[in-house]
Amino acid sequence: MEEVESHAGSTPLIFRIVVPVLIGLAFLAAWEFGVRYFEVSKFVLPAPSSVAAALIDDFPSLLASLWNTLRVTIEAFFSALVLGVLFAVLFAQSRVFEISLFPYAVILQVTPIISIAPLILIWVGLDHVDRALLILATIVAFFPILANTTLGLKSADHNLRNLFDLYHARRWQRLIELEFPTALPYLLAGAKISGGLALIGTVVAEFVAGSGSGTGLAWRIIESGNRLNISRMFAALLLLSALGISIFFLLSAIERVLLKNWHESAVGREN
């Protein structure tokens, strides 16, 4: 087993990049061939070449929509990050607060966002759609950070806790010097989940808000479908997928940078 892990860890980076790229290119080639050979209508399934042409032709408008979606996603992610960490600290410090408020966080998590989106839009007002999008995306991204960080803050070694008690450390000293470093890997793991959920929440909210949502990518998808411009729809979907992948890899890179010199998960990966 150790030999297998060692062999996997020594796989060259270029190999891990080239193989997935070649598989993707083979899939696109098969897709292009299948559409052309079976003469599939572009209103049903456009060829990759048609999608690429639509992406190039409508790139300025799609790029503007991409920025609108990205802006709300970033704002929602950082809002969820701040709120999640604050409530996690509160829950870790007070059992009473955790028992009182954690069930409501669970309710927000399990409630389908699309069911409360119209209500949030009414409360906020149709003149402030961007604010409604931010609230909805924050609700979706909030829980993973809260749950993971709370677990991390409670996972500090009990022997170290006793040592801090022995030296009469203050509560804030224990929090900063012991509990936060212990919780950091949990927080970063939750952040990777929340990054994707913030994007999902933004897209769902844009679907519900419609054309008043600042013409995000979700509205471009709806608009293209209504006009039977399926190539443009696929181009918008491609940009959404690329955005989600970029968010995940960016957060993964931040995780490696913050953990690589001391945490076992990152040290093992580096070695």
pLDDT tens by residue, 171-211 = 888 888 889 999 999 999 999 999 999 999 999 888 887 65
The predicted pLDDT at position 172 comes to 86
What pLDDT sits at residue 3? 45
Q: Is the pLDDT of residue 104 over 50?
A: yes
Q: What is the pLDDT of residues 6-52, one digit of tens each?
A: 444 556 767 778 888 899 999 999 999 999 999 898 888 999 999 99
Average predicted confidence (pLDDT) for the chain: 87
Calculate what percentage of the chain has a pLDDT beyond 90.
55
Residue 144's closest CA among 201, 84, 100? 84
Local structure of 229: helix, strand or coil: coil
Q: 108-112, 214-218, 241-245: which has the highest mean pLDDT?
A: 241-245
Length of the chain: 271
Q: Name the token pair of 188.
A: 């970063």
Q: Answer with the residue of higher pLDDT: 74 or 15.
A: 74
Query: How high is the pLDDT of residue 237?
Result: 94
| Domain spans, the chain | 1-39, 45-270
Which of the following CATH numbers is that of domain 45-270: 1.10.1040.10, 1.10.3720.10, 1.20.1730.10, 2.60.40.1530? 1.10.3720.10
The arithmetic mean of pLDDT across residues 225-229, rounded, is: 89
pTM (two decimals): 0.87
**Among 59-63, 158-162, 211-215, 255-259, whose mean pLDDT is lowest?**
211-215
Whole-angstrom distance, CA of residue 110 vs CA of residue 140:
9
Lowest mean pLDDT among 7-21, 95-109, 205-219: 7-21
pLDDT for 136 beyond 60? yes
Quote the CA–CA distance of 259 and 252 in Å, as a whole number.
Answer: 11
**H-only helix segments in the chain:** 2-9, 13-37, 48-57, 59-93, 95-110, 113-124, 129-153, 158-166, 171-174, 180-209, 217-226, 230-259, 264-270
Tell me: pLDDT of 5 over 50: no
